[in-house]
């Protein structure tokens, strides 16, 4: 009994000593605090910037409707854009934006898929050594360069081919096609590479050909990744301003065909933003266009998340 008690006591004093040792702050804990402090600070700033941007664009964008009392429906469906005369129908630009975006995505997707399949399945070595750097380079080229090439090459070419000025939706589509191709391709390559190797082996071992394996197993299981790639490409096309503005002709009229001057939300914004006075209807109307762009990019984001979630479900089930 005596002995156990003294042992216990001994343990108690020891644990007290350990208590202080384990609780006092060392260099490591200080570093922990500092690190956490810095990252919270940075996150705080970013949140602040994003929130104020959203608030700024939204409040300015809805001023057209709250202060100038333009009806939302008229704004969305009106075909006449002459803000200095009080006419702000944004439909031509909305149509223009969607037209060039979808057209570019539709043209680019087959090329991107073909290139990505070549790079991952047909010739992975050459793909990695040669095509990969080329595509990375293309992603990094500033859009003004694409626009400039479009202006110098595509527009004159279209002028010769079909007549007219050469400016228009088809030239914009072509420039955007070249711009989104590397984006879609490189993301598709990533998603094809992410397909587990054992799917491919399982398919080949069953006597399936390489083509059957690619089309029915690899593409199928990479579907959500490929859709995400296409949406990213579309988001890029939808938001691209400079290159489009240089080749589309910037006429705020309903696009009658693919080869006459038209405009997009972005091209109208970049063209018009310098000539308007803050707080007037023409200025507010441009902010409303910006708001549409913002909403669309939120929509693209939501779509990507939705697809990612569905893709995950499919694999977990």
Partner 1 sequence: MLKQYSFEETAVQTFDDKTSLAMRTEDMQVFYGSNHAMFDANLAFPKNQITALIGASGSGKSTYLRSLNRMNDGIATVTGKIWYHGVNINEPGVNIYEIRRHIGMVFQRPNPFAKSIRENIVYALRANGIKKKAELEERIEQSLKGAALWDEVKDNLDKSALSLSGGQQQRLCIARSIAMAPDVLLLDEPCSALDPISTVKVEETLLELQKKYSIIIVTHNMQQASRISSQCAFFHLGHIMEYAPTGTMFSNPQIPVTQDYIAGSFG
Q: Which residues bind partner 1 (CB under 8 A)?
A: 196, 198-199, 201-209, 212, 216-217, 221, 314-317
Residue closer to partner 1, measured from CB, 21 or 315: 315
Least Cβ distance, residue 127 to partner 1 (angstroms): 15
Cα–Cα distance between 54 and 61 in angstroms, integer?
A: 10
Cα–Cα distance between 146 and 149 in angstroms, integer?
A: 5
Least Cβ distance, residue 109 to partner 1 (angstroms): 23
Lookup: tokens for 233: 């490409």
**In the block, residue with structure tokens 């979808």:** 102
Lookup: tokens for 27: 């260099």
Lookup: tokens for 228: 């995400």
Least Cβ distance, residue 202 to partner 1 (angstroms): 4
Residue closer to partner 1, measured from CB, 124 or 156: 124
Q: List, in sequence order, every beta strand (DSSP E) within the chain.
A: 81-82, 87-88
Least Cβ distance, residue 227 to partner 1 (angstroms): 16
Residue closer to partner 1, measured from CB, 223 or 271: 223
Contact criterion met (CB below 8 Å) for 92 and 252? yes
Residue closer to partner 1, measured from CB, 51 or 313: 313
Least Cβ distance, residue 316 to partner 1 (angstroms): 7
H or E, element range at 228 = helix 223-239
Cα–Cα distance between 60 and 269 in angstroms, integer?
A: 14
Least Cβ distance, residue 302 to partner 1 (angstroms): 24
Residue closer to partner 1, measured from CB, 218 or 231: 218
- For 163, list phi and psi in degrees, rounded to 5: 80, -170
Residue closer to partner 1, measured from CB, 2 or 316: 316
- Provide DSSP, 158-199: HHHHH-S-S-SHHHHHHHHHHHHHHHHHHHHHHHHHTS-HHH
Least Cβ distance, residue 307 to partner 1 (angstroms): 16
- For 207, list phi and psi in degrees, rounded to 5: 90, 10
The residues near 256 (Cβ < 8 Å, ≥ 6 apart) are none
Residue closer to partner 1, measured from CB, 224 or 268: 224
CA–CA–CA angle 146, 141, 154 (5° rounding): 15
Least Cβ distance, residue 67 to partner 1 (angstroms): 54
Lookup: tokens for 4: 């156990």
Residue closer to partner 1, measured from CB, 46 or 313: 313
């Amino acid at each position: 009994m005596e002995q156990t008690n003294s042992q216990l006591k001994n343990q108690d004093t020891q644990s007290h000593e350990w208590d202080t040792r384990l609780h006092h702050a060392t260099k490591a804990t200080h570093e922990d605090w500092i690190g956490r402090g810095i990252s919270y600070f940075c996150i705080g700033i970013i949140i602040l910037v994003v929130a104020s941007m959203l608030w700024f664009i939204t409040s300015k964008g809805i001023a057209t409707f709250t202060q100038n009392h333009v009806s939302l429906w008229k704004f969305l469906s009106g075909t006449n854009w002459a803000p200095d005369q009080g006419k702000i129908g944004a439909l031509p630009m909305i149509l223009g934006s969607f037209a060039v975006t979808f057209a570019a995505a539709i043209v680019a997707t087959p090329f991107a898929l073909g290139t990505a399949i070549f790079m991952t399945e047909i010739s992975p070595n050459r793909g990695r050594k040669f095509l990969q750097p080329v595509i990375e380079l293309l992603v990094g080229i500033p859009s003004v360069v694409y626009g400039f090439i479009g202006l110098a090459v595509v527009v004159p070419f279209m002028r010769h081919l079909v007549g007219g000025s050469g400016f228009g939706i088809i030239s914009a589509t072509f420039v955007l096609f070249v711009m989104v191709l590397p984006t879609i391709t490189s993301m598709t390559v990533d998603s094809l590479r992410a397909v587990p190797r054992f799917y491919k082996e399982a398919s080949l071992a069953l006597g399936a050909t390489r083509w059957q394996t690619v089309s029915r197993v690899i593409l199928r299981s990479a579907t959500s990744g490929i859709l995400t790639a296409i949406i990213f490409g579309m988001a890029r096309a939808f938001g691209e301003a400079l290159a489009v503005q240089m080749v589309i002709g910037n006429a705020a009229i309903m696009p009658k065909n693919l080869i006459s001057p038209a405009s997009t939300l972005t091209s109208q914004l970049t063209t018009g933003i310098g000539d308007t006075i803050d707080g007037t209807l023409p200025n507010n109307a441009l902010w409303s266009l910006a708001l549409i762009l913002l909403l669309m990019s939120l929509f693209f984001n939501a779509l990507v998340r939705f697809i990612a979630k569905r893709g995950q479900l499919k694999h977990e089930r």
